[in-house]
Structure 1
Amino acid sequence: MKDRSAPETASPLPDAATLAHRQERARDWFRDLRDRICAAFEAIETDLDPDRPHADLAPGRFARKPWNRADEAPEGGGPNPDLGGGGEMSILRGGRVFEKVGVNISTVHGHFSPQFAKEIPGAARSDGRFWAAGISLVAHMRSPRVPAVHMNTRMIVTGRSWFGGGADLNPMVEVPTDTADFHAAFKTACDRHDPGYYPRFKEWCDEYFFIKHRGEARGVGGIFYDYLDSGDWEDDFAFTRDVGEAFLDIYPALVRRRMQEPWTDAEREWQLEKRGRYAEFNLVYDRGTRFGLMTGGNPEAVLMSLPPEAKWP
């Protein structure tokens, strides 16, 4: 397995005004992407055929819930400089097509604990100070014929700055054309910036989303990248936006392709077992789960990736 740790060299941080402008642009982009994804998913909820299972339910709609990291401070403890910023959860539960989907955004800042700072590139250089913004999405579907999915992108600043993220598809039963189209969408996004990105980020995804204790992949892959600091911040940001656009283009199309198909009780049972594997990965291996919990993130937002129902054989 290749070394996936952060490179030793990094671009110097810009002046404070430039950095603040970059942070504002990234934060605003993640919010705009959230809004457009939620709109696309709500349109899918509306468009389910009336003779399909669960079509008698009202079309699902997102409920938004803001959260503030300062609220996580001990009661009566006063302001905590290590807990700044917050986010907003957008959760759709019990829909016709989406059994549970969360599209969360956050912008947080503060100080890492001394121990955790040792694990984060540039944190020692910044005395543990950090800033992070991003979007995180997980969709668990009613139909076992419609693949579950995960996507996130983020910008992080310590004593250095970088982007990370990606998306991976998690079908209950793989449909090769769906897998090929999902990968093609992200390859196009990658190739727009660097022809070496797709093979590198696909391999990274395959390595990362692997359930080691079961010896099996979590899904059919996609791309995963981290520590992206090419020396051209504008291009790195443009690439991260293209990853989001690729997701918004391909995943709703795949849902619409499969959401009208009938399914069997046996397929539903297998879906619930596969969700158990998904939960195992996120609780045991996922770095995003660890980062959120170690930086005072809202537990409800951090753990929204867990499925609403799962089984273990």
Structure 2
Amino acid sequence: MELDDQQQRAEAWFRSLRDQLCAAFEALEDEGDGPAPAGRFAQSTWERPDPSGAPGGGGLMSVMKGRVFEKVGVNTSTVHGEFSPEFAKTIPGADVDPRFFATGISLVAHMANPHVPAVHMNTRFLVTTKRWFGGGADLNPALPVDGDTADFKAAFETTCDVHGADYWPRFSKWCDDYFWVPHRNRHRGVGGIFYDRLDGDWEADFAFTQDVGRTLLRTFPELVRRRMHQPFTQDERDAQLRYRGLYAEFNLVYDRGTTFGLKTGGNTEAILMSLPPLARWD
């Protein structure tokens, strides 16, 4: 598939952000404690066959397991083809023409130390007969610290305020609403931002989406450094594993990104990269 200028620029940005995040996280591994060697990302590519039989794009999985990050994945993908008739009805513009293009990045970090919050971020660009950006970033501590939450939210509030006067109140509320777990009657995480179908001025929307990635890249490593050397107890580790159970429940039951990936024939391992390496329910 020959990409137009907007598609090429979006794809190139997501790849660049992936490389910057991987480098920053490997640097954190070098600063970590313990006898084990510092972790390094292992990369693997995958290809998506379109149901029509034509090439359907693919992606790159980057996964690291180490002494600071128990498991972190930074995945990029660029896929295209046709939605199934049933799924096309749920996607803007696809009811007119089922052909689509999607490129994006997805990051999930599950930390070895329960005092270090887990984090999730994804940003994406989708094309049907319409074009839009979506994504967000949210903090997921098993043992919340008010100062960490406040600093994470303040960073994204500043970013939002640069791009739109209503972005922070709108997108932070959207995050709280989206990451609500009805069957547990609680939120997954402590908040952040979530946005979708951002389709005003393309250059402005792209600039905002880039700044979401830059904000995560700037903010999260500093939170990790605050907590990564802090001692923890077995009870705190158990609390972390129970929280991961909640995280897994949301991603498997409610997450739209998981649904999109599975409905469009994405790589199952890449889609389920977000699941923690260990969790408990008791």
Determine if the TM-score, normalized by the shorter chain, exceeds 0.5.
Answer: yes
Task: Name the CA distance, whole Å, in 2 between partners of 1:192 and 1:223.
Answer: 14
- 2:128 maps to which residue? 158
State the alpha-carbon separation in 2 of the partners of residues 198 and 32 from structure 1. 26
**Inter-partner Cα distance in structure 1 for 2:151 and 2:88:** 39
TM-align CA RMSD: 1.4
C-alpha displacement of 1:80: 1.1
Report whether the alignment pairs 1:23 with 2:2: no
CA contact (8 A) 1:179 1:220 kept: yes
Is the aligned partner of 1:234 residue 2:213? no
Work out the CA distance in 1 between the residues paired with 2:105 and 2:222.
20
Task: Quote the offset at 1:195 in angstroms.
Answer: 1.4
Rounded to whole Å, the distance in 1 between the matches of 2:245 and 2:277 is: 11
Secondary structure of the 1:227 match is strand
Q: Distance in 2 between matches of 1:270 and 1:178?
A: 18
1:235-272, CA deviations, whole angstroms, 9 ceiling, x for partnerless residues? Answer: 00000000000000000110011101000000000100
Structure 1: gaps of 5 or more residues: 1-16, 74-78
Runs of at least 4 residues of structure 1 off by over 4 A?
none
Q: Which residue of 2 aligns with 1:281?
A: 250
Q: Which residue of 1 aligns with 2:90?
A: 119
Unpaired runs of 5+ in structure 2?
none
* Residue type of the alignment partner of 1:242: D
Letter in 2 for 1:80: G
CA distance in structure 1 between the partners assigned to 2:41 and 2:208 by the alignment: 28
Secondary structure of 2:171's partner?
helix
**After superposition, what is the alpha-carbon deviation per residue over 1:83-106, rounded to whole angstroms, capped at 9, x for unaligned?**
51000000002x010000000000
Q: C-alpha distance in 2, partners of 1:173/1:143?
A: 10
Question: Of residues 189, 210, 216 in structure 1, which corresponds to 2:180?
Answer: 210
Which of 86, 90, 95 pairs up with 2:62? 90
Residue of structure 2 equivalent to 1:42: 26
The number of residues matched between the two structures is: 282
Structure-2 residue corresponding to 1:190: 160
- One-letter identity of the residue aligned with 2:53: N
Deviations 1:153-186 (A, max 9, x none): 0000001000000000000111111001100111
The alpha carbon displacement at 1:188 in A equals 1.0
Structure 1 residue 168 corresponds to structure 2 residue 138: yes
Q: Report the equivalent of 1:60.
A: 39
SS in 2 for 1:154: strand
Selected match of 1:254 from 223, 227, 230: 223
Measure the CA separation in 1 of the matches of 2:194 and 2:53.
Answer: 33
The alignment-based identity, stated in percent, is: 64
C-alpha separation between the residues in 2 aligned to 1:68 and 1:175? 41
* SS of match in other structure, 1:69: strand
Contact 1:124–1:159 (CA<8 Å) still a contact in 2? no
CA distance in 2: counterparts of 1:309 and 1:174, whole angstroms = 19
For the residue of structure 1 that corresponds to 2:102, the secondary structure is strand
Distance in 2, Cα, partners of 1:311 & 1:60: 24
1:80 aligns with 2:59: no
Task: Provide TM-score, normalisation by structure 2.
Answer: 0.98
Q: Which has the larger radius of gyration?
A: 1
Match of residue 271, structure 1, among 222, 240, 243? 240
Is 1:306 the counterpart of 2:278? The answer is: no
CA distance in 2, matches of 1:195, 1:266: 43
Which of residues 262, 266, 280 in structure 2 aligns to 1:297? 266
Q: Separation in 1 of the partners of 2:6 and 2:225?
A: 35
